[in-house]
């Protein structure tokens, strides 16, 4: 094994990678990070128009809240998970020149890629919640700590799966193409646009198996109703770490060959 007397400069390296990940998306653009907010905002506007205005959707789970608030609470964490996973998938293959020539911990690239997406979307999330509150939506900002715990679970899931997909992507370029439709199906199979309780009998069981449902619903419950479903989230966090650990095993097994295949 390689023993190396390097203290832990990993933290600084992670920070530099993270800064680069964030800035590289917006370097040279006029509005910079504002774009990160605009894209999901448009999506939110479209869903609101289609479901509120055209379909005139109303269901009791909304209580006194608007459909917009209902979607917003789950849309941002989902977007962070999805984009984080997609960006993380390219973290290794997209940095081939570095991988081939410089020694450093490869997982930092994946962590930085996923973290950059989560930081950007978490900021957007808070801005949107504050905005909705400002226009009179009764959002329980006191539920934010629980929501953040939910975000943490989504982050661990996203990172963990990105360990798997990024290492497979080095060998097979098909991974990203498989990922795109899978994530699209996942989006509609996850209670972002509807509450889990509205799903009819045979499907609801299958959908209840989707871990994301058990993270997004508690986030929504905390912000819309002030519920503290901490235990459920902690259980999901444990599950997320288990998934991440498994994926990291694959990553570790394949990482000695990144230099050759990337």
Partner 1 sequence: MPGPSKDVLVAVQGVSKVYPIAVTPRERSKTLVALLRGRPAPKQFHALRDIDLEVRRGESLGLIGVNGAGKSTLLKVIAGVVKPTSGTIQVAGRISALLELGAGFHPQYTGRQNVRLATALLGLSAAQSDAKLDQILSFADIGQHIDQPIKQYSSGMVVRLGFAIATAVRPDLLITDEVLAVGDESFQRKCVEWMKSYLDDGGTLLLCAHSMFQVQKLCRRALWIDGGAIRAGGPAMQVTQDYLAWHDTLAAQSEKQARPQEKAGSYAIAELRVNGHTPGGSAVAELGGTLRIEGAVFSPDGRAPVVAIGCVRLGGAAIYGLASDMDGHTLERLGTDQFHFCLEFDPLELLPGRYEIRAHAMDPEGVRHFDEVKCDLEVRGDTLEMGLCRMRHRWLSPGALAGVPATGHGLAPDLMSPGSEGGVR
3-class secondary structure, 194 = coil
Question: Is 30 an interacting residue with respect to partner 1 (CB under 8 A)?
Answer: no
Given a contact cutoff of 8 angstroms between Cβ atoms, the answer to whether 77 and 223 are in contact is: no
Write the CB contacts of 22 (distance below 8 Å, at least 6 apart in sequence): 33, 116, 119, 120
Member of 34, 39, 100, 203 binding partner 1 (CB under 8 A): 100
3-state secondary structure of 193: coil
Q: Select from 91, 114, 162, 168 the one that contacts partner 1 (CB under 8 A).
A: 168
Residue 7 engages partner 1 in binding (rule: CB under 8 A): yes
- CA 142/CA 101 separation, integer angstroms: 48
**Which CB atom, from 106 or from 220, has the smaller least distance to partner 1?**
106
Pick the stretch among 10-18, 58-66, 128-136, 186-194 that binds partner 1 (CB under 8 A).
Answer: 10-18
Question: In this structure, how many other beta carbons lie within 10 angstroms of the beta carbon of residue 13?
Answer: 15
- Helix 10-26 / helix 107-134 crossing angle, nearest 10 deg: 60
Contact 76, 219 (CB under 8 A): no
Among 21, 78, 92, 97, binds partner 1 (CB under 8 A): 97
Among 12, 64, 134, 209, binds partner 1 (CB under 8 A): 12
What's the min distance (Å) between Cβ of 88 and partner 1?
A: 19
Interacting span for partner 1 (CB under 8 A) from 11-19, 39-47, 79-87, 226-234? 11-19
**Looking at 66-74, 77-85, 123-131, 168-176, which segment touches partner 1 (CB under 8 A)?**
168-176
Angle at 151 between CA 8 and CA 48, to 5 degrees: 145
60 vs 256 by CB, closer to partner 1? 256
CA 77 to chain centre: 5
Of 206, 196, 234, 193, nearest to 70 by C-alpha is: 193
Q: Binding of partner 1 at residue 2 (CB under 8 A)?
A: yes
Q: Should residue 101 be labelled a site residue for partner 1 when binding is judged by CB under 8 A?
A: yes
- Alpha carbons 85 and 227: distance in angstroms, whole number: 28
Verify binding: residue 57, partner 1, rule CB under 8 A: no
Contacting residues toward partner 1, per CB under 8 A: 1-7, 9, 12-13, 15-17, 20, 24, 27-28, 95, 97-104, 168, 171-174, 250, 253-254, 256-257, 259-261
């Amino acid at each position: 094994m390689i023993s190396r007397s390097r203290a832990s400069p990993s933290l600084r390296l992670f920070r530099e990678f993270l800064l680069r990940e964030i800035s590289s998306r917006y370097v040279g653009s006029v509005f910079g990070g504002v774009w990160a907010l605009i894209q999901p905002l448009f999506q939110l506007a479209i869903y609101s128009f289609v479901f509120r205005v055209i379909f005139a959707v109303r269901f009791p789970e909304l209580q006194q809240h608007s459909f917009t608030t209902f979607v917003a609470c789950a849309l941002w964490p989902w977007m962070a998970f999805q984009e984080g996973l997609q960006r993380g998938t390219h973290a290794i293959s997209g940095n081939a020149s570095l991988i081939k020539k410089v020694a450093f911990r490869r997982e930092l690239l994946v962590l930085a890629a996923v973290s950059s997406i989560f930081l950007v979307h978490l900021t957007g999330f808070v801005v949107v919640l504050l905005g909705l509150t400002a226009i009179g939506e009764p959002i329980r900002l006191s539920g934010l700590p629980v929501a953040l715990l939910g975000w943490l679970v989504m982050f661990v899931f996203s990172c963990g799966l990105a360990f798997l997909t990024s290492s497979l992507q080095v060998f097979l370029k098909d991974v990203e193409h498989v990922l795109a439709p899978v994530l699209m199906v996942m989006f509609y199979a996850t209670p972002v646009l509807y509450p889990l309780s509205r799903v009819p009998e045979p499907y609801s069981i299958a959908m209840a198996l989707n871990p994301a449902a058990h993270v997004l619903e508690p986030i929504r419950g905390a912000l819309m109703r002030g519920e503290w479903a901490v235990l459920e989230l902690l259980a999901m966090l444990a599950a997320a770490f288990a998934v991440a650990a498994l994926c990291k095993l694959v990553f570790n097994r394949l990482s000695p060959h990144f230099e050759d295949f990337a």
